[in-house]
């Protein structure tokens, strides 16, 4: 595999905590412990917007499907939406959509700009209406902090998965608010969850230094991605477009690339100088972005 670091995005003054590719496959939003949210052009490495948040530790950020909005939040317990426009200052039209009783760890827009789904340290997930700020549905089932959520890849998209510090991985029905499936197996916090592109399985990354694959139809764990030499936790996982590769970012500053079928590591990406906190394959599958506690983001291809 010939994956190399192609770009380095420098500008954050502290640990990069979260990032998300824009639907236009060109821009990346990132958030950091310095209280900044930056919109980058991943090709030119230019910063198009830099927004100062009301709080440090902006743990979550996400692009809306239109590419015209970003959402973020963190230790302020809130999810705030920022419309992106070149004309005026992004902060002018910012809007608080929802508030949890503890920090917001993750957020995503389920299939439209109208709603936002959040996960929180208060052990719940919540679905909010962006326009009114109304709580549309809350999801109770975890017994500790929710660290990650991901939507099922279908257009109808009424299912999502969550991972938590209670070591559990739960599948939810967004309309009913019910947990429809649960998976155990991890021995420590689940930091990242990602649906396989087929929608039939979920990959997870955990502080127990393993990634795992849970099959929804078989209702069980079907693969574990680990090596004796890997003793550091996994912060973030994502699939290649085909689902054959699983990229995982670790606390030992590396990204491991796993063959999901053979359960072997096929590649190791070095470059960051501190833990890899977030990673994401671009929407068209041609690039991988990674964010790190070394204050930078890198784009690999």
pLDDT band at residue 89 using 50, 70 and 90 as cut-offs: confident
- R_g of the chain, CA atoms, integer Å: 18
Given the DSSP bridges, would you call strands 36-41 and 47-52 parallel, antiparallel or unpaired?
antiparallel
Q: Retrieve residue 52's tokens.
A: 């100062």
Query: Of 197, 59, 163, 214, nearest to 172 (Cα)?
Result: 163
Strands, sheet with 288-292, edge to edge from the N-terminal-most edge strand: 5-10, 296-300, 288-292, 276-281
pLDDT at 156: 66
The average confidence (pLDDT) of the chain is 96
Sign of the torsion angle spanned by Cα atoms 74, 75, 78, 84: negative
In the chain, what percentage of residues exceed pLDDT 70? 99
Half-sphere exposure of 53 (CA within 13 A, CB side): 31
Q: What is the C-alpha separation between 283 and 25, in angstroms, rounded? A: 6
Tens-place pLDDT, residues 193-238: 999 999 999 999 999 999 999 999 999 999 999 999 999 999 999 9
User: Is residue 86 scored above 80 in pLDDT?
Assistant: no
Strands, sheet with 95-99, edge to edge from the N-terminal-most edge strand: 60-63, 69-73, 78-83, 95-99
pLDDT at 87: 72
User: Is residue 41 scored above 70 in pLDDT?
Assistant: yes
User: Is residue 50 scored above 70 in pLDDT?
Assistant: yes
Backbone angles phi, psi at 261, to 5 degrees: -85, -45
Q: Retrieve residue 108's tokens.
A: 């995503």
Tens-place pLDDT, residues 239-269: 999 999 999 999 999 999 999 999 999 999 9
SS3 percent helix, strand, coil of the chain, rounded to 5, is 0, 50, 45
Q: Cβ distance 296 to 8 under 8 Å?
A: yes
Query: Of 167, 106, 158, 113, nearest to 137 (Cα)?
Result: 158
3-state secondary structure of 92: helix
Average pLDDT over residues 119-138: 98
């Amino acid at each position: 595999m010939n994956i190399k670091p192609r770009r380095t995005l420098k500008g954050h003054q502290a640990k990069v905590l979260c990032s998300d590719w824009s639907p236009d496959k060109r821009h990346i939003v990132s958030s950091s412990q310095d209280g900044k949210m930056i919109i980058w052009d991943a090709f030119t490495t230019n910063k198009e917007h830099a927004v100062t948040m009301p709080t440090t530790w902006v743990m979550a950020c996400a692009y809306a499907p239109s590419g015209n909005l970003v959402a973020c939040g963190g230790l302020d317990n809130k999810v705030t939406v920022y419309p992106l426009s070149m004309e005026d200052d992004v902060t002018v039209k910012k809007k608080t959509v929802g508030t949890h009783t503890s920090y917001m760890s993750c957020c995503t827009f389920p299939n439209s700009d109208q709603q936002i789904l959040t996960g929180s340290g208060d052990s719940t997930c919540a679905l909010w209406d962006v326009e009114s700020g109304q709580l549309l549905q809350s999801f109770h089932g975890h017994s500790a902090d929710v660290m990650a959520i991901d939507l099922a890849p279908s257009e109808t998209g009424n299912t999502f998965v969550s991972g938590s510090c209670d070591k559990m991985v739960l599948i939810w029905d967004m309309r009913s608010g019910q947990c429809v499936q649960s998976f155990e197996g991890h021995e420590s916090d689940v930091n990242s969850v990602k649906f396989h592109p087929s929608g039939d399985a979920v990959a997870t990354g955990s502080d127990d230094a393993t990634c795992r694959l849970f099959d929804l139809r078989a209702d069980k764990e079907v693969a574990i991605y680990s090596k004796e030499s890997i003793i550091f936790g996994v912060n973030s996982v994502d699939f290649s477009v085909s689902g054959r590769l699983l990229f995982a970012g670790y606390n030992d500053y590396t990204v491991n690339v796993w063959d999901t079928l053979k359960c072997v590591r096929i590649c190791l990406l070095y470059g960051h100088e501190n833990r890899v906190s977030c990673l994401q394959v671009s929407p068209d599958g041609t690039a991988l972005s990674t964010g790190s506690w070394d204050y930078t983001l890198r784009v690999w291809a």
